[in-house]
Structure 1
């Protein structure tokens, strides 16, 4: 933090958040005959009664308008082998080109999902609210598919990685 920085708290928060390791997911949806996707780490469970998730999407993201229009969505939890898809969906590719890598299918609810994701949770929108630069969308889980071993793609300190060896919690 310096006196020259007009937003020291923002800069400090960004530095702190680099230390928060998060699983990487791709949010996908369809709207008006087009598919949309975006890599995210701002996903979390909300409730098990009813089964629901929340996702946080910047209002400037290309995924925001279809979600804002009410499109249902899928949270595709990526495995370590999906790093290329994460990069494609975070800006390397645009629009429909983001669906050229990976085995994308369409759910019975009409939502695109990644067939071999660690988990794909198809959600119907069930509420939302705006906060700062983002909208928090609540999704009621309608369909769940899991695949393969648990081997998450993780994002920490500005880079993709995989899970490390679990910490030894035994007393020394």
Structure 2
């Protein structure tokens, strides 16, 4: 087996393994030179509580990558289970400004768009980045958070949208 075949096999196995990693679905938004951008993402995670920060991983071929690469601040909008239409719109069904026709959008004082009825919207000042493979990892220092009243995440696993179900009381953690 050649090194290329081994890398290809490893890539395919990794993709299959990642299908088993359930992740909450978010829509990442930003504004740059008066243009709003949005994309669905599951490659989002907390980074540190001190300072409060998170990270997002963005493919360099994504339309939101250039404004983020130029330093645009961003928002991570954590979607609720009833917001699959927004996830699909921002995953490519709609393009550009059309993506903001799905959902109810507001903007903070700096113009960063956020989803008014998301489970949570976390607005970040960009605080670092690095490139790796096909992606850039952007670090956001949290500046503002809007939290909804319910916890009912939209989840992506094995190529489909779903939601989490609570465990029976005897299996649930306190």
Taking structure 1 as the reference length, the TM-score comes to 0.94
- Find runs of 4+ consecutive structure 1 residues off by over 3 angstroms: 167-170
- Measure, in 2, the Cα distance between the counterparts of 1:166 and 1:65: 42
Aligned residue for 2:99?
98
Gaps of 5+ in 2: none
Residue 165 (structure 1) shift: 2.9
CA RMSD of aligned residues (A): 1.6
Q: Report how many residues are paired.
A: 168
| 1:54–1:136 contact (8 Å) kept in structure 2 | yes
Aligned residue for 1:160?
161
| 1:76–1:117 contact (8 Å) kept in structure 2 | yes
Taking structure 2 as the reference length, the TM-score comes to 0.93
- Measure, in 2, the Cα distance between the counterparts of 1:165 and 1:123: 30
- Measure, in 2, the Cα distance between the counterparts of 1:49 and 1:108: 24
Aligned residue for 1:64?
65
Q: Secondary structure at the match of 1:8?
A: helix
Aligned residue for 1:121?
122
| 1:120–1:145 contact (8 Å) kept in structure 2 | yes
Q: Secondary structure at the match of 2:83?
A: helix
| 1:116–1:148 contact (8 Å) kept in structure 2 | no
Aligned residue for 2:56?
55
Q: Secondary structure at the match of 2:14?
A: helix
Residue 110 (structure 1) shift: 1.7
